[in-house]
């Protein structure tokens, strides 16, 4: 599908990080955006900087009714949806045995249920029009999960399996789907836990730029790619882990230190 002037794109988690970068990239191509997030203050500021006409939509993706309302409101305002981006996500890193259950539940509600609700309520509009594209922002953690991120990795793996199957289900409908597997990207995702991040983490301001990922997402949509991994090392690690978890563990220990794969079995 070509992203052009008038393309109608609904993006969850649009106020920061990957969602914000993607909004900027799409707006530069003339897209009409539905900018959805829990807090609308940052969305209003973003919308004011973008060319074109855009719609700010308050939406907590963990609340199904809120998602349905936001999607339906965007359809009413824009006349439909061409591109649906399930991007909203959070993370809480830490050993599972020490992690509050509420953190695990909240990651599940936002990362997994949020994706489920977004696609469930957005997809019928695209099927009715027999055209459109879905983007599911998963994570490199869906390809190889890491210590201190057990629940986060599980939510991202759920997105992966859902998206892989749904892409096949949509064959012949005019609607397609691309799954995105970002590695460490320079965003504010971990701002709330900078002092407690695991030793193997290499994110932060020097990580891969969200703007570059946004450009690659748009290109993948236009080429109807099955998936996108960025940076490229993410794909290599996923392939290696599928072939031999033991070898991928060794590689991670060499690259990131022993905490990335402490067991040697």
Active site residues: 152
Identify the three-state secondary structure at position 59.
Answer: coil
Report angle CA 85, 142, 225 to the nearest 5 degrees: 50
Q: What distance in Å separates the CA atoms of residue 76 and residue 39, rounded to the nearest whole number? A: 21
d(CA 232, CA 221) in angstroms, rounded, equals: 18
Rg, the chain, Cα only: 18
Secondary structure in 3-state letters for 134-146: EEEECCHHHCCCC
Backbone angles phi, psi at 59, to 5 degrees: -160, 115
Task: Tally Cβ neighbours within 10 Å of residue 219.
Answer: 13
Give the integer Cα–Cα distance in Å for 232 and 90: 23
Number of Cβ within 10 Å of residue 28's Cβ equals 15
């Amino acid at each position: 599908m070509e992203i052009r002037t008038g393309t109608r794109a609904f993006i969850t988690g649009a106020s920061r990080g990957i969602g914000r970068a993607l909004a900027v990239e799409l707006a530069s191509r003339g897209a009409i955006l539905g900018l959805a997030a829990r807090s609308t203050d940052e969305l209003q500021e973003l919308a004011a900087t973008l060319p074109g006409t855009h719609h700010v939509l308050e939406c907590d993706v963990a609340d199904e009714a809120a998602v349905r309302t936001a999607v339906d409101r965007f359809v009413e305002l824009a006349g439909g949806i061409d591109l649906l981006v399930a991007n909203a996500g959070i993370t809480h890193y830490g050993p599972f045995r020490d992690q509050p259950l509420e953190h695990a539940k909240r990651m599940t509600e936002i990362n997994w249920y949020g994706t489920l609700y977004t696609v469930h309520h957005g997809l019928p509009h695209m099927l009715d029009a027999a055209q459109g594209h879905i983007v599911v922002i998963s994570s490199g953690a869906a390809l190889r999960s890491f210590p201190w991120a057990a629940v986060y990795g599980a939510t991202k793996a759920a997105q992966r399996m859902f998206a892989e199957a749904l892409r096949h289900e949509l064959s012949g409908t005019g609607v397609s789907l691309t799954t995105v597997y970002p590695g460490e990207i320079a965003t504010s995702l971990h701002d709330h836990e900078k002092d407690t991040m695991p030793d193997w983490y290499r994110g932060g301001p020097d990580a891969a730029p969200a703007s570059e990922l946004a450009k690659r997402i748009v290109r993948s949509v236009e080429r109807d790619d099955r998936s996108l991994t960025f940076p490229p090392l993410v794909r290599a690690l996923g392939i290696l882990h599928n072939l031999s978890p033991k070898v991928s563990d060794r590689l991670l220990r060499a690259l990131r230190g022993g905490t990335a794969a402490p067991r040697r079995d």
